[in-house]
Structure 1
Amino acid sequence: MAGQQHASGWKRFWERGGWWRSLLVVVGYYVLWQLVSLALGPLIGAIDTSDEAVGVLLGYGLPIALGCVILVVFALTVGWLRELFGRQPIRGRGWMWIAVVVTVLFNVLHFAGIDYTKASGALVAAWVVSSLFVGFAEEFLTRGLVVNLMRKAGYREIVVAVVSAALFAALHAGNLLSGQSVLATGFQLLYTFAFGICMYLALRVTGNLIWPILIHGTTDSATFLFTGNPAPGALSALAAQGNIVVIITGLVLLIFIRGRVNAPAPAIEDARASA
């Protein structure tokens, strides 16, 4: 009985939603993921990662895969897993497809602009698999948990979009600690905020979280592979403009976001809490 009351209190706490609970879940995840990464460090260091593909899978893919497990476990404890992957409670609009088309188009261009004589099949596979873990973790966290928390508090969708994108961008500020310059990090934060808006729109217009997860995962793998192995030619020059185009797209489309998902009535919440 005590365990049931504790679980009920835990779920009741998160069901209230709100921006600060969104911040709490993001910070909590980030800290746990960093601890997992640190714990894996000696293990990965003891393995021969001279093969680039193996290095990507172990150094990049494995820690974030364990981060995915952390997020799924959290969702299970509050009973949201089915809810997060269910049909969106607010419909998208036709213009939102612009965000999907732009991001997918540049994913295709990036993949087409890779010099596959330098990037082996094993390396491509390693980046795709690892990046899908990243797409799952970051979209599940920000377009899944954060969006759900914000909507439960009754915020307008413009606020939901901005907070989810801002917290998504903030996750990348930690790159300063790895030696990335302030200028490069600032540009990355701007890009990830705009990309986050595009992924929020992808969530809305496709109606399911799985699509921003897949778009995000292919974006990361295409970008990393293209950056490290660009093929010469006009196609690569066009693909290289992707970040700027995504920034412009996300910031412009943000202006047109409307709507609200009504928060649960207090009476309903109380009834659920006493059940």
Structure 2
Amino acid sequence: MVNSHRRSPRRVRVDPSPVSTSPTQNPWQRFWDRGGWWRALLLAAAYYGVYQLLSLLINHLPGGQAAAGLDTSDPLGLLIGTALPIALGAAVLIGFAASVGWLRPLFGPQPRRQRGWVWIGIGVVVAINASALIALDFGSAGGALVATWLLTGLCIGLAEELLTRGVVVELMRRAGYGEIAIAVASAGIFAALHSGNLFTTDQGVATTAAQVVYTFGFGVIMYLALRLTGRLIVPILLHASTDPMILLFSEHPTQGNPLELLPMLSTPLIVATGGLLLIVFVVSERRVGARDAANADEPWP
């Protein structure tokens, strides 16, 4: 007998990035496919350890000892001491992604999208980097150093964004976390990685603390750029252009250029922009969640 009082179908929010499982997966793939915040922390810690080990080994090779101090004014020292270990770290991350079958999900179109207000964060980053480029004294820096920094920046952008906006985001989504938690985890792990500079450099507690706060704000902007564009390559390129321009400008500024104000204020600008956008994002996501919950209670017409 058919029940004439069956419940009507209801609208539900479908996760556009479901976890794909296959009986052909090996234990390594099944382990990472479960995702989770602690796996994200584990992988970030492993990457950081591998990177530090690579730096130590490279700096003890012939010619590498001169780069141990990370002399950013010497193209060869910059290439050996900074770019090479980061490039090798990026290769390790790509190998990891390939081993678990995530290259397509990471570098392909992302299912998430964000509203146009995210362009504010992207615009601030682009404006700072462009101003630093225009206010840079190319004659003082030299073409070799500029080219080496651009290459180093590409390595930095690839490695750090692949880890924090790529693999970390993928791990969090596969565990079913909401986008607010994913945004905080992505930016938080990114900032935590830079806290290690307190032990690997002589920059001091205050400078390291400021760097951690800056990288958290920058990480929020990069995550939102991923949400807006749906492509990991966008935060990679934004990040790749940031470190070279800011660091080159700090060492080789053109005196008296009115555009030098933006890169000089890059830290408070990024912190304020990232913090403001995070607040807007949290409010926006909660509104979307409330609207979806209300729609789920409405029967189909």
So what's the TM-score if we normalise by structure 2?
0.81
Counterpart for residue 21 of structure 1: 39
Q: In the alignment, is the contact (CA less than 8 A) between 1:52 and 1:123 conserved in 2?
A: yes
Q: Which of the residues 245, 257, 261 maps onto 1:237?
A: 261
Counterpart for residue 226 of structure 2: 203
Distance 1:87 1:5, change over 3 A: closer
Q: Which of the residues 101, 106, 110 maps onto 2:132?
A: 110
Aligned length: 257
Specify every segment of 5 or more residues in structure 1 that has no aligned partner in the other structure, as ranges. Answer: 261-275
Task: Say if 2:207 is the partner of 1:184.
Answer: yes
Q: In the alignment, is the contact (CA less than 8 A) between 2:58 and 2:80 conserved in 1?
A: no
Counterpart for residue 139 of structure 1: 161
Query: Greater CA radius of gyration, 1 or 2?
Result: 2
Cα offset, 1:256, TM superposition: 2.1
Counterpart for residue 32 of structure 1: 50
CA distance in 2, matches of 1:35, 1:41: 10
CA distance in 2, matches of 1:197, 1:106: 16
Q: In the alignment, is the contact (CA less than 8 A) between 1:151 and 1:160 conserved in 2?
A: yes
Cα offset, 1:53, TM superposition: 1.1
Task: Say if 2:108 is the partner of 1:90.
Answer: no
So what's the TM-score if we normalise by structure 1?
0.89
Cα offset, 1:45, TM superposition: 3.4
Q: In the alignment, is the contact (CA less than 8 A) between 2:48 and 2:193 conserved in 1?
A: yes
Which 4+ runs in 1 deviate beyond 4 A?
4-7, 46-51
Distance 1:238 1:34, change over 3 A: closer
Q: Which of the residues 185, 193, 205 maps onto 2:216?
A: 193
- State, as a whole percentage, how many aligned pairs show the same letter: 49
Cα offset, 1:7, TM superposition: 5.7
Of the structure 1 ranges 232-241 and 158-167, higher mean CA displacement relative to structure 2 is found in: 232-241
1:170-218 Cα offsets, whole Å, 9 max, x none, are 1111111122210000000000000000000111111100010000010
Q: In the alignment, is the contact (CA less than 8 A) between 1:44 and 1:58 conserved in 2?
A: no
Distance 1:167 1:47, change over 3 A: closer
Q: In the alignment, is the contact (CA less than 8 A) between 1:44 and 1:59 conserved in 2?
A: no
CA distance in 1, matches of 2:156, 2:225: 17
Counterpart for residue 267 of structure 1: none
Coordinate RMSD, CA, aligned: 2.0
Counterpart for residue 153 of structure 1: 175
Specify every segment of 5 or more residues in structure 2 that has no aligned partner in the other structure, as ranges. Answer: 1-21, 287-301
Counterpart for residue 272 of structure 1: none
1:208 partner SS: coil
Q: In the alignment, is the contact (CA less than 8 A) between 1:103 and 1:219 conserved in 2?
A: yes
Task: Say if 2:236 is the partner of 1:213.
Answer: yes
Aligned positions of 1:4-15 closer than 5 A: 8-15=26-33
What amino acid maps onto 1:191 in structure 2? Y
Distance 1:99 1:46, change over 3 A: closer
1:89 partner SS: coil
Of the structure 1 ranges 172-181 and 143-152, higher mean CA displacement relative to structure 2 is found in: 172-181
CA distance in 2, matches of 1:154, 1:7: 20
Higher helix share: 1
